[in-house]
Chains A and B, each alone.
Chain A
Amino acid sequence: MGYTTGLVCRACGKEYPEAPNYVCEDCFGPLEVLYDYERISQEVSPQRISSGPKSMWRYEALLPLQGEPKAGQQAGYTPLIHARRLGEALGLSRLYIKNDTVNVPSLSFKDRVVSVAVSKALEFGFDTVACASTGNLANSLASQAASAGLRSFIFIPDNLEEAKVVGTLVYDSQVVAVKGNYDDVNRLCSEVASIYPWAFVNINLRPYYSEGSKTFAFEIAEQLGWESPDHIVIPVAGCSLLTKIWKGFKELERLGWIKRNSAMLYAAQASGCSPVSTAIKNGWDTIRPVKPNTIAKSLAIGNPADGYFGLQAVKETGGYGEDVSDKEILEGILLLARTEGIFAETAGGVVVAVTRKLVQQGRIGRDHLTVLAITGNGLKTQEILVGKTPQPLKISASLEDFTDQIEKTERRQQYGCAG
């Protein structure tokens, strides 16, 4: 089983054997998994994948496990929807939504990476898993650790949305709320990881964990009939998803499973935390970290670890980066809900609002095949919408009251005045 051949430093190319190791001892560059692509192309094909399980594990050959998946067996293979009504609102005729708001088990794209990480933790023989998280990773790891019978320690900033905290605690995970922002939590975790012999999914298991994100790209390609779209708009926090979507399409092209990789990648951020889009707009080749201040807490990473590679990905594919205000994020969430019936969390609002900007700038054309990466469920960040939606019509349980009130409401809507 397995097509991996070891680890390699993404910065200097030094190779390492497969182990819970994440950093190059020569240059501190991040390690990533190496595959035997020749053997994959001989033994695996799109036809074989099409008859595989209806989950991300249909792409098992391009994931770094030695044996069968031991966690998240149902994760992935989420719907790709032709979003006609949202497309009309944005001026796009070929707009698609990759809908990870309905991913399982925890309603975000993080179920993909955690499925790989927890399976890998079990392969390596760990009994405890841990992570630093802005919420979605926390939910997914707590859930999958519970079902795998592993102990979990979850480190979060102390200002997260209530639903994301409860949605972690419910699995009996040890949650550690750290005073500070995600970048403080991340630094602390790195120090904790150097003392405790745990599987930190986004530290010592990072090379494996992050590979799960490639399935987002694989599914888009397969669901489009083994083609690459023209544009993909991707929410950016640590920049891992964008970087791995890039890698995923390159792998498909290398294996000859898509004819041509033409996907231009766009980094979507909140203006209150936009180190990546700012670097892209200014043509910088390094990231200048920022202190996050935005309602898009899932994206509130001021010092994105994969930012350096994300900038390369955007540049190489001819994409761009944009950011939007908190007000635009809320409008994006509401527009997506009202046109497509999809309730996304703040990151989804960021993607919709950024897409609107990219269309206005002429970067995305009306007939271009465009995919929006909608990565998390709105039920987790409901509190930001309190007072921003219409209110319920409160009536007594009488038909007369209902018809009376509803007529008044309709008149108000029709004439735009009280009446």
Chain B
Amino acid sequence: MAVLVRIPIPLRRFVEGRPLVEAQGGTVSEVLGDLSLRYPGVHQRLYDGSGLRPFVNVYLNEEDIRFLAGEQTPVKDGDLISVVPAIAGG
């Protein structure tokens, strides 16, 4: 499956400065894995020893993947994954 990934500013220096890149995979995890393979540096920013870092939020078509099946959520052609740093509110 070819999926688009929206890249937040802190990650862009690893993806040639692009705001949007394409990656392959059948699940969110596979897509982020493919992204990490294509662009060295990405993996280390997104993951620590125990999984996705606590301050990284991942959305599939505007829904937080924690409300879906987490990183195992299946994706289909044309889906959009957005990686967003946690931000404050009020």
Whether a CB of chain A sits under 8 angstroms from the CB of B40 is no
A195-212 CB mask vs B (1 if < 8 Å, else 0) is 100000011001001100
Q: How large is the interface on A (under 10, 10 to 19, 20 to 34, 35 or more residues)?
A: 35 or more
Whether a CB of chain B sits under 8 angstroms from the CB of A26 is yes
**Bound state CA distance, A190 and B6, in angstroms?**
11
Q: Assess the B55–A238 pair: CB atoms within 8 A.
A: no
Q: Assess the B87–A189 pair: CB atoms within 8 A.
A: yes
Q: Assess the A308–B64 pair: CB atoms within 8 A.
A: no
Q: Of the 9-residue stretches A86-94, A129-137, A252-260, which lies at the interface with chain B?
A: A129-137
Within 8 A of B (CB), among A174-219: 182-184, 186-187, 189-191, 194-195, 202-203, 206, 209-210
Within 8 Å by CB of B84, from A22, A131, A191, A206, lies A191
Chain B residues within 8 Å of A195, by CB:
19
**Bound state CA distance, A11 and B53, in angstroms?**
10
Chain B interface SS verdict (over half): mixed
CB distance from A298 to the nearest CB of B (A): 8
Whether a CB of chain A sits under 8 angstroms from the CB of B66 is yes
**Bound state CA distance, A371 and B10, in angstroms?**
40
**Bound state CA distance, A306 and B87, in angstroms?**
8
Q: Assess the B64–A301 pair: CB atoms within 8 A.
A: no
Within 8 A of B (CB), among A297-311: 298, 301, 303-306, 308
A202-B88, A238-B89 given as contacts; is B67 within 8 A of A26 (CB)?
Answer: no
A82-112 CB mask vs B (1 if < 8 Å, else 0) is 0000000000000000000000000000100
Whether a CB of chain B sits under 8 angstroms from the CB of A124 is no
Q: Assess the A134–B59 pair: CB atoms within 8 A.
A: no
Q: Of the 9-residue stretches A223-231, A285-293, A357-365, A397-405, which lies at the interface with chain B?
A: A285-293
Whether a CB of chain A sits under 8 angstroms from the CB of B48 is yes
CB distance from B19 to the nearest CB of A (A): 7
**Bound state CA distance, A135 and B48, in angstroms?**
35
How many A-B pairs have beta carbons closer than 8 Å: the answer is 105
Q: Assess the A194–B89 pair: CB atoms within 8 A.
A: no
Q: Assess the A202–B89 pair: CB atoms within 8 A.
A: yes
Q: Assess the B57–A303 pair: CB atoms within 8 A.
A: yes
Q: Of the 9-residue stretches A27-35, A261-269, A387-395, which lies at the interface with chain B?
A: A27-35
Whether a CB of chain A sits under 8 angstroms from the CB of B16 is no
B15-47 CB mask vs A (1 if < 8 Å, else 0) is 000010000000000000000000000001110
B65-90 CB mask vs A (1 if < 8 Å, else 0) is 01100000000000000101111111
A303: nearest residue on chain B (CB-CB)? Answer: B64
Chain A residues within 8 Å of B45, by CB:
25-28
Q: Assess the B66–A190 pair: CB atoms within 8 A.
A: no
**Bound state CA distance, A7 and B67, in angstroms?**
33
Whether a CB of chain B sits under 8 angstroms from the CB of A233 is no
Whether a CB of chain B sits under 8 angstroms from the CB of A113 is yes
CB distance from B6 to the nearest CB of A (A): 7
Q: Assess the B88–A305 pair: CB atoms within 8 A.
A: yes
Q: Assess the A28–B10 pair: CB atoms within 8 A.
A: yes
Whether a CB of chain B sits under 8 angstroms from the CB of A240 is yes
Whether a CB of chain B sits under 8 angstroms from the CB of A344 is no
Q: Assess the B87–A202 pair: CB atoms within 8 A.
A: yes
Whether a CB of chain B sits under 8 angstroms from the CB of A314 is no
Q: Assess the B56–A203 pair: CB atoms within 8 A.
A: no
**Bound state CA distance, A23 and B56, in angstroms?**
10
**Bound state CA distance, A210 and B66, in angstroms?**
26
Q: Assess the A27–B62 pair: CB atoms within 8 A.
A: no
Chain B residues within 8 Å of A194, by CB:
8-9, 19
Whether a CB of chain B sits under 8 angstroms from the CB of A237 is yes
Within 8 A of B (CB), among A135-178: 136-137
Q: Assess the B88–A306 pair: CB atoms within 8 A.
A: yes
Q: Assess the B57–A187 pair: CB atoms within 8 A.
A: yes
Given A25-B10, A206-B88, A289-B64, 4 new contacts (CB under 8 A): A182-B89, A190-B85, A301-B89, A303-B64
Query: Could you pull out 20 A-B pairs where Cβ atoms are within 8 angstroms?
Result: A22-B87, A23-B8, A23-B85, A25-B10, A28-B53, A28-B56, A30-B85, A30-B88, A132-B89, A183-B64, A187-B59, A187-B62, A190-B85, A195-B19, A206-B88, A237-B89, A240-B90, A289-B66, A289-B67, A308-B55
The chain A residues found within 8 Å of chain B, CB to CB, are 11, 22-30, 110, 113, 131-134, 136-137, 182-184, 186-187, 189-191, 194-195, 202-203, 206, 209-210, 237-238, 240, 286, 288-289, 291, 298, 301, 303-306, 308
